[in-house]
Structure formats: structure tokens, C-alpha cells
């Protein structure tokens, strides 16, 4: 079973890329972020024609998350628990019915960027991460197999950036940001990619500016965190880097996790 996360940075603009990727890789489920469209504008028909059902939480011009699946998907939750007044479209989850296996809960998340540091956006980012940790704790107590997949906007370690010094004053690399990410891991979650590779130079994002892609000036901010029950089924994880070289690409690339 293959599960993918991908910040597509505008679904309507990258729909052809997504459909090409689905045909080439045939993942069982895909978590999308930064749709930048409302649900009324979501391309359900095109995605269904490719063999996938879809659930989405949209927002005009900003944010937006979705889950595509070739497997039955139920028990849909839209929005991260913990703040009923939070109207930003950043979290959606459901339960995949896996043949001959226990079900797996899957979440697509788009964690706040948090910049600039001296604005209300940074406290919102940290509060959002706290809510995510609380929700993860609840699911862990239920001993569920689950995957939190998405754009975390967190550079966990210096090796996850080609030039760590360039990010010292960025919300993605602040000590408290990284500590909040480590808290998730300390709860018992596993970073799927790091469970499979300790290599440096593994990046998922290259800015559009200053030739970042051509210079390999990248960072790793797209992650798949697994519960112990999901980790027991982990076979491999890899970054599908080649999509960044496509014409008019997203600045993020897919991360794929394969389970037994």
C-alpha cells in the first residue's frame, strides 16, 4: 500500500501534474495541501475519472487540504480539534479500509508557516502544533494505525537544509518550532523518511526564487509521521524529486510511504 503527501501549490494549476503522477505511480491514497480553491471548485470529476474518490476542505485562494483514495474512506473529520473558531482549511482525516488488514487512519495537514516571527502568525503556528500533539495523543491512546502526512513547515534538523544558516531567522527553523516537532516524535510517532534513511541532502521544497532548484538550495519540510502500529507495517519511504523539474511545477515534491 502506497500513501503520498504533496503540497501542490494550487490544485487547478497543477491538475495535469497530479493526474500524470497518479497514472505513473498508482498510489493507494494521496494527501494534498495548498489547494487554493473552495470545495465547489475542486476537480472531483477529473480525479474520479482517474480512479480515485476524494474528500476536501477548501478555502478561497489560500490553504486547503484533501485526501484522494482508491480504497474505501470513511469517518471523515474536517478541521483539527482544539479550536472551534479556527476557520483556516488546514486539516482533514479519514479511515482507510485496507483489505485483510486493520484500518489505517490518514490525515492530510498543512501546518501554518508562522512568518513573520513578530506577528500573530508565529503564536498561531505553535498553538496549532500543540493542538496536533494533543490529537495525536488521543489517537495513540486508542492504539490506532495512523499517518499524519503533509506540509509541516518545519525543518527538523540542520541536515534537513542545504544551508541551515540561511534559515536562522525563519519560523520554520526556530528552536521552539523544532522542539514542538520533537514533541510529536517523543509521543511515539516515527518520521517515516528518517526511519528509512539517515542521508543528508534529502529535500522536499525548493523556492522559486534565486535559482534554488538549479542550485539544490532545498529544505525538507514535508513529512509523514506514523503511529507505532503504522510503523510496524512500514516498508519504505522516498522523495519523488523529479516532479520539481517539470514545467511550471509546485515548489514542493511528493513524499511516498509504502506499507505492507
Tell me: the pLDDT tens digits for 108-141? 999 999 999 999 999 999 999 999 999 999 999 9
Whole-number Cα distances in Å, 237 to 11, 37, 193, 195 = 24, 29, 5, 8
Cβ within 8 Å of residue 129, ≥6 positions away: 111, 177, 180, 181, 183, 184
Position 105 scores a pLDDT of 98
Position 123 scores a pLDDT of 98
Three-state DSSP class for 9?
coil
This model's pTM is above 0.85? yes
Three-state DSSP class for 101?
coil
Contact between 110 and 91 under an 8 Å Cβ cutoff? The reply is: yes
Which residue has 487554493 as its cell numbers? Answer: 36
Position 223 scores a pLDDT of 98
User: What does DSSP assign to residue 123?
Assistant: H
Position 101 scores a pLDDT of 79
Strand-pair partners of 96:
73, 104
Which grid coordinates belong to 151? 506540509
- Please state, in angstroms and rounded to a whole number, the distance separating the CA atoms of residues 155 and 174: 9
Position 127 scores a pLDDT of 98
- Extract the residue ranges of the chain whose pLDDT is less than 70: none
- Please state, in angstroms and rounded to a whole number, the distance separating the CA atoms of residues 59 and 38: 5
What's the distance, CA 72 to chain centroid? 20
Amino acid at each position: 500500500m502506497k500513501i503520498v503527501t504533496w503540497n501542490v501549490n494550487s490544485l487547478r494549476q497543477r491538475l495535469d501534474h497530479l493526474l500524470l503522477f497518479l497514472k505513473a505511480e498508482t498510489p493507494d491514497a494521496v494527501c494534498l495541501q495548498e489547494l487554493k480553491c473552495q470545495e465547489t471548485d475542486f476537480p472531483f470529476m477529473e480525479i474520479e475519472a482517474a480512479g480515485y474518490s476524494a474528500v476536501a476542505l477548501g478555502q478561497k485562494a489560500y490553504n486547503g487540504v484533501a485526501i484522494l483514495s482508491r480504497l474505501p474512506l470513511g469517518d471523515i473529520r474536517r478541521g483539527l480539534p482544539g479550536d472551534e473558531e479556527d476557520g483556516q482549511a488546514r486539516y482533514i482525516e479519514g479511515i482507510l479500509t485496507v483489505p485483510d488488514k486493520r484500518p489505517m487512519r490518514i490525515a492530510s495537514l498543512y501546518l501554518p508557516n508562522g512568518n513573520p516571527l513578530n506577528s500573530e502568525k508565529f503564536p498561531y503556528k505553535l498553538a496549532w502544533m500543540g493542538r496536533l500533539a494533543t490529537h495525536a495523543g488521543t489517537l495513540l491512546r486508542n492504539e490506532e494505525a495512523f499517518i499524519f502526512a503533509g506540509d509541516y513547515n518545519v525543518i527538523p534538523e540542520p541536515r534537513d537544509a542545504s544551508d541551515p544558516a540561511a534559515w536562522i531567522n525563519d519560523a520554520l527553523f526556530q528552536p521552539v518550532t523544532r522542539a514542538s516537532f520533537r514533541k510529536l516524535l517523543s509521543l511515539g510517532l516515527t518520521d517515516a523518511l528518517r526511519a528509512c534513511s539517515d542521508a543528508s541532502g534529502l529535500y522536499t521544497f525548493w523556492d522559486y526564487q534565486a535559482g534554488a532548484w538549479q542550485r539544490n538550495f532545498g529544505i525538507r519540510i514535508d513529512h509523514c509521521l506514523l503511529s507505532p502500529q503504522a510503523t510496524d507495517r512500514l516498508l519504505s519511504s522516498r522523495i519523488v524529486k523529479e516532479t520539481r523539474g517539470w514545467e511550471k511545477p509546485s515548489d514542493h515534491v511528493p513524499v511516498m510511504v509504502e506499507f505492507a
